[in-house]
């Protein structure tokens, strides 16, 4: 019997759904999830030792490929000094300074242990700082699973068709206003009505949890203007886009300065890390110098800091993002050409080192409604055909896929040859 199937059967007896995070269960595509034994460079290896070219990269962190020697060395040497102290270390200062160097809008920042913690803390801070309760988010954007943010969310919540999770009191969810991504007029209209009650706008500057949807021209600029006009806090959730679409994240790519930024994924180099930060005057509102409480036993954990710092240092060398963008473009254009050759209608979005494709007749996908109207059945079939060919794409039509610096021409050519064969079978 297939080893992944065996492990999945076993896992389901003790772990709900057999997984410790929902999208891993292949709910969006059906079938048995691959249980992974090891990974190296652009490849992951399943329990049967089958190799796959990996376009998930642990959902984003592995931008330098798996098992990068500089990260591994940093983790091993730091671990020898002790795993956790619950007291400050110099490494945390070095890390904070590195992040500020790359993302200068983060004048002060604090480390946490996940993207969810980062966004949850940023929202609390924005509410505490403004003294307002309401927040505004966009349909199909996912910002982790904190109560305020799991309303009309993307990612697994969308894949599983549970946009509003039970367990979130109505009284609480009513403070979360949800509008259409890329529709600045709707935002302006809501602000014209109740702008003085809105603490913040939180947005994925490139939406990556309803597939991959870049902001249309003027959208992010419009959000900046509205927040300035109503003294609301603009939060860029760069958990996915940070250090990925450009070294300085989406705010560098689009040249818009948010008040607060949340980070995760790449910042930990594969260890559990997140961060939030921004304007000094807002960040100084947080405990112990300010009234808004936020804390974490393992926040700034030395091993996690070492891995993240090594990852950011490595990424800062050379022209890595130019390389990543070129590779992504080559892959995206190749997918499009292969689909056309086989008479399959396909639309592709990509920014920096993230991309997503849609089985649709539409020339360009820019909205949640367009993304959710795409042919999900075709996606499922394509996903499994590619998996068979040894290519591991994001197992949901509502997730972006990622490249790493370990994806060379060889992997891209192999992927495109596989795609050609798979499109032919659709
Ligand atoms: N924000 C965004 C934009 C994300 O993509 C994610 C996770 N995919 C999160 C927040 C939550 O991060 P985590 O899963 O580390 O809690």
3-state secondary structure 329-344: HHHHHHHHHHHHHCCC
Expressed in angstroms and rounded, the spacing between residue 193 Cα and the centre of ligand 1 is 30
Give burial (CB, 10 Å; 0-12/13-18/19+) of 98: middle
Q: Does residue 29 carry a pLDDT above 90?
A: yes
Would you say the CB of residue 277 lies under 6 angstroms from ligand 1?
no
Cβ neighbours for 20, distance < 8 A, ≥ 6 positions apart: none
* Rg, the chain, Cα only: 21
Clarify whether 265 is annotated catalytic.
yes
Q: Does residue 161 carry a pLDDT above 60?
A: no
Question: Which structural domain, as residue segments, surrounds residue 395?
Answer: 3-67+318-425
- Name the catalytic one among 43, 129, 142, 254: 142
Which ligand 1 atom minimizes the distance to the CA of 117?
A: 16
Model-level ipTM above the cut of 0.90: yes
Q: Would you call 161 helix, strand, or coil by DSSP? A: coil
Residues 260 and 391 in one domain: no
Residues 208 and 331 in one domain: no
Would you say the CB of residue 57 lies under 6 angstroms from ligand 1?
no
Residues 79 and 194 in one domain: yes
Residues 96 and 146 in one domain: yes
Would you say the CB of residue 142 lies under 6 angstroms from ligand 1?
yes
Ligand 1: residue of 209, 210, 269, 401 to mutate (most ligand atoms within 8 A of CB) is 209
| Greater pLDDT, 174 or 308 | 308
Residue 162 is predicted with a pLDDT of 54
Q: What is the mean pLDDT of the chain?
A: 96
Q: What is the CATH number of the domain that holds 377?
A: 3.90.1150.10
For the stretch 380-399, pLDDT in tens is 999 999 999 999 999 999 99
Ligand 1: residue of 117, 119, 399 to mutate (most ligand atoms within 8 A of CB) is 119
Residues 63 and 74 in one domain: no
Could you tell me the pLDDT band of residue 154, with boundaries at 50, 70 and 90? confident
Choose among 239, 339, 304, 292: nearest CA to 79: 304
* Residue having the nearest C-alpha atom to atom 9 of ligand 1: 144
Average pLDDT over residues 12-20: 97
Residue 171 is predicted with a pLDDT of 84
Residue 114 is predicted with a pLDDT of 98
With pLDDT > 70 as the criterion, what percentage of the chain qualifies? Answer: 98
Expressed in angstroms and rounded, the spacing between residue 144 Cα and the centre of ligand 1 is 5
Clarify whether 142 is annotated catalytic.
yes
Q: What is the CATH number of the domain that holds 140?
A: 3.40.640.10
Q: Does residue 322 carry a pLDDT above 70?
A: yes
141 in Cβ contact with 204 (< 8 Å): yes
Could you tell me the pLDDT band of residue 155, with boundaries at 50, 70 and 90? confident
Rounded CA gap, 154 and 126, in Å? Answer: 22
Average pLDDT over residues 300-327: 98
In Å, how far from its chain's centre is CA 277? 17
Which ligand 1 atom minimizes the distance to the CA of 59?
A: 8
* Residue having the nearest C-alpha atom to atom 1 of ligand 1: 143
At 376, give phi and psi (nearest 5°).
-70, -30
CA angle (89, 302, 36) in 5-degree steps: 170
Count structural domains, the chain.
2
Expressed in angstroms and rounded, the spacing between residue 306 Cα and the centre of ligand 1 is 21
Q: Which residues of 382-416 are buried (b: 16+ CB within 10 A; e: fewer)?
A: bbbbbbebebbbbbbbbbbbbbbbbbeeebbebbb
Expressed in angstroms and rounded, the spacing between residue 200 Cα and the centre of ligand 1 is 18
Q: Does residue 191 carry a pLDDT above 90?
A: yes
Could you tell me the pLDDT band of residue 152, with boundaries at 50, 70 and 90? confident
Domain closes at, from 315, 345, 370: 315
Would you say the CB of residue 116 lies under 6 angstroms from ligand 1?
yes
Would you say the CB of residue 144 lies under 6 angstroms from ligand 1?
yes
200 in Cβ contact with 130 (< 8 Å): yes
110 in Cβ contact with 278 (< 8 Å): no
Residue 160 is predicted with a pLDDT of 62
Would you say the CB of residue 122 lies under 6 angstroms from ligand 1?
no
411 in Cβ contact with 402 (< 8 Å): no
Residues 81 and 41 in one domain: no
Identify whether 288 is preceded by a cis peptide bond (ω within 30 of 0).
Answer: yes
First to last CA, the chain: 28
Residue 331 is predicted with a pLDDT of 98
Domain closes at, from 315, 338, 369: 315
Rounded CA gap, 202 and 39, in Å? Answer: 34
Could you tell me the pLDDT band of residue 378, with boundaries at 50, 70 and 90? very high
Residues 335 and 392 in one domain: yes
Residue 156 is predicted with a pLDDT of 76
Average pLDDT over residues 157-180: 80
Could you tell me the pLDDT band of residue 98, with boundaries at 50, 70 and 90? very high
Could you tell me the pLDDT band of residue 18, with boundaries at 50, 70 and 90? very high
Q: Would you call 260 helix, strand, or coil by DSSP? A: strand
Would you say the CB of residue 114 lies under 6 angstroms from ligand 1?
yes
Residue 157 is predicted with a pLDDT of 73
Residues 12 and 93 in one domain: no
> Do β-strands 36-40 and 43-46 pair in parallel, antiparallel, or remain unpaired?
antiparallel
Ligand 1: residue of 116, 245, 351 to mutate (most ligand atoms within 8 A of CB) is 116
Rounded CA gap, 318 and 322, in Å? Answer: 9
17 in Cβ contact with 23 (< 8 Å): no
Rounded CA gap, 72 and 396, in Å? Answer: 30
Ligand 1: residue of 59, 239, 242, 356 to mutate (most ligand atoms within 8 A of CB) is 239
Would you say the CB of residue 375 lies under 6 angstroms from ligand 1?
no
Would you say the CB of residue 121 lies under 6 angstroms from ligand 1?
no
Residues 62 and 82 in one domain: no
Residues 10 and 56 in one domain: yes
Residues 76 and 208 in one domain: yes
For the stretch 72-92, pLDDT in tens is 999 999 999 999 999 999 999
Residues 9 and 129 in one domain: no
Residue 165 is predicted with a pLDDT of 82
Q: Does residue 170 carry a pLDDT above 90?
A: no
Domain closes at, from 315, 346, 362: 315
Could you tell me the pLDDT band of residue 267, with boundaries at 50, 70 and 90? very high
* Residue having the nearest C-alpha atom to atom 10 of ligand 1: 143
């Amino acid at each position: 019997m297939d080893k992944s199937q065996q492990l999945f059967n076993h896992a389901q007896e003790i772990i709900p759904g057999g997984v410790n995070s929902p999208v891993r269960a292949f709910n969006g595509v059906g079938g048995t999830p691959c249980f992974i034994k090891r990974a190296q460079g652009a490849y992951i290896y399943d329990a049967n030792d089958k190799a796959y070219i990996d376009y998930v990269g642990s959902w984003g962190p592995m931008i330098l490929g798996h098992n990068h020697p500089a990260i591994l060395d940093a983790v091993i040497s730091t671990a020898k000094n002790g795993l956790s102290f619950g007291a400050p270390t110099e490494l945390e200062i070095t890390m904070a300074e590195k992040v500020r160097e790359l993302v200068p809008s983060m004048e002060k920042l604090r480390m946490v242990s996940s993207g969810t913690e980062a966004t949850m803390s940023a929202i609390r801070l924005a509410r505490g700082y403004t003294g307002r309760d309401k927040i505004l988010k966009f349909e199909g954007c996912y910002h982790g699973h904190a109560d305020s943010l799991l309303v009309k969310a993307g990612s697994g919540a969308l894949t599983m068709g549970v946009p509003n999770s039970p367990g979130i009191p109505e009284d609480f969810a009513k403070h979360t206003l949800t509008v259409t991504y890329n529709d600045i007029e709707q935002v302006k209209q809501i602000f014209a009505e109740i702008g003085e009650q809105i603490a913040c706008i939180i947005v994925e500057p490139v939406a990556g949890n309803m597939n991959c949807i870049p902001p249309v021209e003027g959208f992010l600029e419009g959000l900046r203007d509205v927040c300035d006009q109503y003294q609301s806090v603009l939060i860029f959730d760069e958990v996915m886009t940070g250090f990925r679409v450009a070294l300085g994240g989406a705010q560098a790519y689009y040249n818009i300065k948010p008040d607060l930024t949340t980070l995760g994924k790449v910042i930990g180099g594969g260890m559990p890390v997140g961060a939030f930060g921004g304007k000094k005057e807002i960040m100084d509102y947080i405990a112990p110098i300010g009234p808004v409480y936020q804390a974490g036993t393992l926040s700034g954990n030395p091993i996690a800091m070492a891995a993240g710092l090594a990852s950011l240092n490595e990424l800062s060398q050379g022209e890595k993002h130019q390389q990543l963008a070129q590779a992504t473009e080559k892959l995206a254009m190749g997918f499009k050409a292969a689909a056309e050759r086989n008479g399959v209608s396909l639309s592709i979005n990509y920014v920096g080192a993230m991309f997503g494709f849609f089985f649709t007749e539409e020339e360009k996908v820019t909205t949640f409604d367009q993304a959710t109207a795409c042919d999900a059945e075709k996606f499922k079939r394509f996903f499994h055909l590619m998996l068979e060919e040894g290519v591991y794409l994001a197992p949901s039509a509502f997730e972006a896929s990622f490249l790493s610096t370990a994806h060379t021409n060889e992997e891209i050519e192999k992927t495109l040859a596989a795609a050609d064969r798979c499109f032919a079978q659709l």
